[in-house]
Structure 1
Amino acid sequence: MSSEPSVDDRLLDAAEGGIPSALADLGRLVRIPGIAWPAFDQEQLQLSAREIARLAEETGVFDEVRILTAAIPGTDEHGQPAILATRRARNGRPTVMLYAHHDVQPPGDDALWETPPFEPTVRDGRLYGRGAADDKAGVMAHIASLRALREVAGDDLDLGIVLFIEGEEEFGSRSFGQFLADNAEAMRSDVIVVADSGNWDSETPAVTVSLRGNATFHLTVRTLEHASHSGMYGGAVPDAMLATIKLLSTLWDENGAVAVEGLAARDAETPEYTEATLRDEAGLPDGVSPIGEGAILSRIWNKPSITVTGIDFTSVAAASNTLSPEVTVVVSARVAPGQDAKEAFAAIEAHLRANAPFGAQLTFANVDLGNGFLVDTSGWAVAEARDAMRDGYGKDPVDLGVGGSIPFIADLVRQFPGAQILVTGVEDPHSRAHSPNESLHLETFRNAVRAETLLLGRINARTV
């Protein structure tokens, strides 16, 4: 006599069966170049929002699906379109919020892509395209899991569900806090799943338990009232580039570690991680040494870093024999988990002002701050997530720290202080998010959908 398959088995079967259609839908989303930067066609972002709203409606799960915007505090502008789909909880079940974002990074130099950035291409078990991993795969992991859950649970689906797909995460989530305030009652949740992180590798899942904060700003260094001839005055008059180079060099010690007094580091254990793995995952060539001190993952997860990510200066093609009067750079600092981003920025500003060479004049502008995050791993939702990942991937999950930042999580904590927050994702170390040839490992996506389907199915059986 054959026994009936368990609910978990049925959920996994439904998840598996939905993978082909989920990947087809993902491919359609990748073809939409939805970029929140004003210089790009904003109708594409509207098109992306409409397409995801349609996918949400077609799950048959939600009581209401809306495309909404919110005001950007301190301006007369509104943010980019977000999808908010809601289903009320029934019979005492919890409510789960599923977050991802549908906007993507600009593609950068098309010549660096092996295939067109907005033409989804499968090769060697990976789907290539801008947003294929970050974060349209997160969007489709949610949609695919909801489809499978609906197929199995049917009329017994009592779980409350909030699907929140943001449209401006890559552009700073400028209206995020206001959006939460505007829709607080509709979005109130017991568990929040943020699908915008990564995994230990393509086979091993991870629960992200720490994130660094960020402090990004524009620094202008000025030494002259106007440009002057470098032959006539060079050697006596400091140009802005000379001052900028000398000033920026004080931010790091001889090993490349941050040398700014007042920037904190977190003391926490990290898993084994070799230099060879770092070279493979980061693309660090032989002969180029890693920077910093201590365990490699501690440098990435628990210590501050400072990177110059942009510069306004004369191009090579337009170079002339001129002493430059000013230079503007973009400085991006990652702040150790647990340190307030305002405190970190104040320390960096004080350091730069104290070390300005030749009396150079410094101007700080476009300051953007975001606090890091430490997950409370003691709640039942984290335990459920670990179990679901173990059963969905077939491997024990790893507690992961991430060197990047998701500043809006602080807004979620502030607006919904009682919610348990789970940070998950579908990326692996070779996804190259934000870089040319971004890609999604297809087997990782399959397992992520399996795990999230199990998680939702199991929470659907709980009472608050």
Structure 2
Amino acid sequence: MTASEHTTDATGPVPTGTALRDALWTRIDERADEFLSWLVELAAQPSVSVTGEGVRECAALLTDILKRIGVDSETLETGGSPIVWAALGEHSAEDTPHLLIYGHYDVVPAGDPADWPFPPFEPTVHEGALWGRGVGDSKGQLLAHLCALAVWTDVTGAPPPLRLDLMLDGEDETGSLNTRRFIAEHPERFTADALYTSDASTLGLWQPALFLGVRGALYLEFTCEGSPQEWHSASYGGILPNPADRLTRALASLTDADGHILVDGFHDGIEPVPESVRTAAAALPDTFLPPAQDLGVRAYTTSDPVDAMFFSPRICVCGIEAGYTGEGLKMAVPTRATAKVDIALMPGQSPARTAQLIRRHLDDHGWDDITFTVLADCPPSSIPDTHPLVTTARAALGAVWGQEAAVIPSIGGGGVFGAFVEHAGLPCLLVPYGQPDLQEHSSQEHFSLEWFRNGIKTSAEVLRRLAEGEATGWTRRVPSKEAG
């Protein structure tokens, strides 16, 4: 028996090390057509969380796919879309690494079928990619993890010698509100050492990449009321309080001309950025952000948009509605004005505290009549670039792709990750398997078959490195008593 083999209960010796890696990758190549058929089957099942169409049927299909690979699962009710949950290796040794793999199976609506090159729920292979709603966001990326488990059992005769929890969420595209509540109410389920997920694309990079966190989000709807009826603006304009004028002035007071936020205390508590993370951001290729002209504008609002994107909180007015906006003119003082505002938050900031600071700012500056409602919020999440899961994923991506993975500090806020941090204390790593032109949420959504296969290989290599003790520095996490 060589150093790359050991005997198990399986028939014959089982490879280890790079021999195991090669065996797993070979088996992935051999089963590529079968795994593609699974993805076609999964993507053909609608699972539109905003309407509920097909969501429970898709959860049942995932349960069936898990059975095919020898994994028993349970369906957890949340008050909304169900969670499909599976736990492997529960009786492993205490020091065995414990990983939670998260994915979501719901999709956004397909929209008008006439806009699609192929029917959205009839997945079609075309020019090296699978086209259809949800193929890349995120059924294909979720399925990559399950396929990796399937080939592991093929090659070794048993599941990976790890503690693995699988959590498949059915309402990511609607904010995972019920899922977030489930996490808060059941912290005992979330005792893993770290969370690994694959979603989204590598943005502008045609190379492997990973995200160290998700920027927090606070989405507010502001309202300013005026007179209950319209009055002629030629007589009363500039005399009566104008909701449109008051609201726009109030919003303008939140930032200076360069976008720096002027709300007292807003930046308090923001965690310092490690120099290594700033260095990684500075090393991103120029293609990461296209020239401003390619986006239809003359210039970015800052000389360093990459730094501003990752390391500064930002306020974006997404929409304003007030007064008469129809054809022609109508001379009338508006009775009401509303605005929707998206606020990006950094690690160390809390959506609830941020809302309190904005309320105080409005009151202190004479806009106490302006109200706002929180439409959505999500605390930021981050994982240190030195965390063993990060170094393991970087090594796995490098081995699969033959090139170093880009380290991207964060991705746009929202979703469920903040809840894992807030209620379970879980460090979360996002490793996208989608190519830059994935075009999720559009009628051009398509998932590269090469990237799908490499995603499966990456998941298999992450599992191998964890199982064989190559995740240097991995320690079991003690769940925080404060979590939950």
Q: Normalised by the shorter chain, which TM-score bucket?
A: 0.7 to 0.9
In structure 1, what is the equivalent of residue 421 of structure 2? Answer: 413
Selected match of 2:306 from 282, 297, 310: 297
Q: Distance in 2 between matches of 1:116 and 1:207?
A: 31
Task: Identify the range of structure 1 (359-368 vs 314-323) with the bigger mean alpha-carbon deviation.
Answer: 314-323
1:40-119 to structure 2, matched below 5 A, reads 40=51, 42-60=52-70, 62=71, 64-70=72-78, 78-89=79-90, 91-92=92-93, 93-107=96-110, 117-119=120-122
Q: Indicate the residue corresponding to 2:290 in structure 1.
A: 279
1:15 aligns with 2:28: yes
Matched, 1:391 2:399: yes
- Confirm or deny that 1:180 pairs with 2:221: no
CA distance in 1, matches of 2:342, 2:112: 21
Question: Which 10-residue stretch deviates more, 397-406 or 268-277?
Answer: 268-277
TM-score by length of 1: 0.83
Aligned match of 1:326: 336
2:346 is the alignment partner of 1:339: no
Do the aligned residues in 1 keep the contact of 2:175 with 2:414 (CA within 8 Å)?
no
Mapping of residues 347-362 of structure 1, within 5 Å: 347-354=357-364, 361-362=369-370
Amino acid at match of 1:369: D
Within the candidate set 243, 248, 252, 2:251 is matched to 248
Return the offset for 1:354.
4.8
Q: For residue 111 of structure 1, report the CA deviation from its aligned partner.
A: 6.8
Over 3 Å counting, the alpha-carbon distance change for 1:196 and 1:156 in structure 2 is closer
Corresponding residue for residue 134 of structure 1: 137
Mark the runs of 5 or more structure 2 residues left unpaired by the alignment. Answer: 6-14, 477-484
Cα gap change, 1:183/1:247 in structure 2, threshold over 3 Å: closer, same or farther? Answer: closer
The amino acid that maps onto 2:282 is P
Q: Distance in 2 between matches of 1:263 and 1:11?
A: 50
Cα distance, 1:443 vs. partner?
2.4
2:386 maps to which of 355, 378, 392 = 378
Residue 188 of structure 1 and its aligned partner are, at CA, apart by 3.2
Aligned equivalents of 1:144, 1:118: Cα separation in 2: 22
1:128 CA drift (Å)? 3.7
Instruction: Report the Cα distance in structure 2 between the residues aligned to 1:123 and 1:54, rounded to whole angstroms.
Output: 27
CA contact (8 A) 2:75 2:84 kept: yes
C-alpha contact (below 8 Å) 2:206/2:436 kept by paired residues: no
In the comparison of the two structures, how many residue pairs are matched? Answer: 446
The C-alpha deviation readout for 1:95-118, integer Å capped at 9, x for no partner, is 322101112234467676555544
Does 1:165 find its partner at 2:165? no
Q: Deviations over 1:123-170 (max 9, x none)?
A: 444444332322222211122211122211213643332110011222
* Residue of 463, 467, 472 corresponding to 1:460: 467
Give the match's secondary structure for 1:105: coil
The whole-number CA distance in structure 2 between the counterparts of 1:185 and 1:200 is: 35
Q: What is the aligned-residue RMSD (CA, Å)?
A: 3.4
The alignment partner of 1:279 has SS state of coil
Residue 402 in structure 1 maps to residue 410 in structure 2: yes
Is the alpha carbon distance of 1:223 and 1:442 closer, same or farther for their aligned partners in structure 2, counting shifts above 3 Å?
farther
Q: For the Cα contact (< 8 Å) 1:221–1:361, is it kept in 2?
A: yes
Contact 2:315 2:341 in 1 (8 A): yes
Displacement after TM superposition at 1:261 (Å): 4.5
SS at match of 1:337: coil
Q: Which residue of 2 aligns with 1:34?
A: 47
Indicate if the aligned counterparts of 1:19 and 1:144 stay in contact, CA closer than 8 A.
no
Q: Contact 2:39 / 2:135 at 8 angstroms: preserved in 1?
A: yes
Q: Specify whether residues 32 and 239 from structure 1 end up closer, same or farther in structure 2 by C-alpha distance, changes over 3 A only.
A: farther
Alpha-carbon distance change, 437 to 156 in structure 1, aligned in 2, over 3 angstroms: closer
Counterpart amino acid of residue 82 in structure 2: P
Report the counterpart of residue 73 of structure 1 in structure 2.
Answer: none
CA change 1:296–1:428 in 2 (3 A) is farther
Instruction: Identify which of 151, 165, 189 aligns with 1:148.
Output: 151
SS of the residue 1:247 aligns to: helix
Alignment deviations for residues 73-99 of structure 1 (CA, whole Å, 9 cap, x no partner) = xxxxx1321111222345534332210
Q: TM-score, normalised on structure 2?
A: 0.80
* AA partner of residue 18 (structure 1): R
- CA pair 156-133 structure 1, distance change in 2 beyond 3 A: closer
Maintained 8 Å contact 1:300/1:403: no
Q: Quick check: 1:214 aligned with 2:214?
A: no
**Stretch deviating more after TM superposition (402-411 or 308-317):** 308-317
- CA drift at 1:454: 1.2
Q: Deviations over 1:272-308 (max 9, x none)?
A: 45776523799513x5321234x32211111122223
Provide the rounded CA distance (Å) in 2 between the counterparts of 1:306 and 1:217: 11
Write the distance in 1 (CA, Å) between the matches of 2:324 and 2:57: 36
- Alpha-carbon deviation of 1:433? 3.5
Which amino acid counterpart does residue 38 of structure 2 have in structure 1? D
CA spacing shift, 1:111–1:291, aligned 2, 3 Å: farther
The equivalent of 1:195 in structure 2 is 198
Q: How far off is 1:401 after superposition?
A: 1.5
| Other-structure match for 1:224 | 227
